[in-house]
Structures are given as C-alpha cells and as structure tokens.
C-alpha cells in the first residue's frame, strides 16, 4: 500500500483537535487543526515520529522556536508566540509538504490556541518532468 504522509498526520492528529478543516484542489490538500495550547509537546512528538517513518526516501527541513504575526488586510490580528516549521520533500513520489505548528494569541481577545497547518503538493515544481520519469 502506498504511504501518504498527509493521511498519516491528519488521521492521528484530528483525533485530539478541537476543530479540523481539510480542503482539496487539483490533487493538492490543506489541513487546519486547532488544539488547546497544552497539546504542543505531544503534537510535536507525533509529527516527528511520522516524518521519521517517511525519511527513508525524503528530506526534511525544520525551523523551530520562532515568533511572528498574522496580518489580515494589513491589520495585525494574531501573534505567533512560538512555533515549528517543517518542509518535507518526498523523493519517491516527488511530493512536497509544508507543515506549521504555531502557538497563537488573538490580539483583541487574548485567546490562546495551538494551530496546525499542512499543505500537501503532489505536483511540486521542485522536480522537472525528466526527473519524474
């Protein structure tokens, strides 16, 4: 059976999420999941375990412990208090994954939560047509 990092992550992580949204368009997929802030360490561990299962034919780039912000139409709405970012390149199927795990705080209400974003591109332009043959 063909492995699929997106399905592995979404299946396991959606079990503990407060909210999940999955979109599909032209073979690509995106996932948004919302969690309580206290789930940061367990989710981080799950992501690494699943990435390591897929590393035999891939490369991962990881950036951790960063801060940032969301701006909606120029207005700062959310602060990123901490986060992890991964890019995974699947050499076997020529696919690209962009994964973000972010601790967030609403600027106006002060609410805090954990957000997971996964973008899956099965038609990544990182490989040429010749490399795919």
pLDDT tens figures, 103-117: 999 999 999 999 999
| Residue 62 pLDDT | 96
In a domain, 99, yes or no: yes
In a domain, 123, yes or no: no
Q: Structurally, how many domains does the chain consist of?
A: 1
In a domain, 37, yes or no: yes
In a domain, 130, yes or no: no
In a domain, 125, yes or no: no
In a domain, 128, yes or no: no
| Residue 4 pLDDT | 81
| Residue 61 pLDDT | 96
In a domain, 119, yes or no: no
In a domain, 133, yes or no: no
DSSP letters of 35-55? E-GGGHHHHHHHHHHHHHHTG
Block mean pLDDT (10 aa), the chain, length 133: 77 86 94 94 93 90 93 95 95 93 96 96 86 82
How many CA atoms within 13 Å lie on the side-chain side of 115?
A: 17
Least Cα distance to 30 among 101, 113, 104, 99 occurs for 99
Q: Which structural domain range is residue 85 located in? A: 5-111
């Amino acid at each position: 059976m063909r492995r699929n990092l997106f399905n592995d992550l979404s299946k396991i992580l959606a079990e503990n999420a407060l909210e999940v949204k999955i979109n599909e368009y032209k073979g690509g997929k995106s996932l948004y999941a919302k969690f309580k802030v206290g789930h940061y360490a367990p989710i981080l561990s799950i992501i690494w375990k699943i990435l390591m299962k897929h590393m035999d034919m891939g490369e991962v780039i990881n950036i951790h412990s960063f801060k940032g912000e969301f701006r909606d139409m120029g207005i700062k709405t959310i602060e990123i208090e901490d986060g992890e970012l991964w890019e995974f390149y699947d050499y076997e199927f020529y696919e690209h994954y962009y994964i973000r795990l972010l601790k967030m705080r609403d600027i106006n209400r002060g609410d805090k939560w954990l957000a997971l974003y996964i973008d899956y591109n099965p038609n990544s332009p990182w490989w040429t047509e010749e490399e795919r043959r």
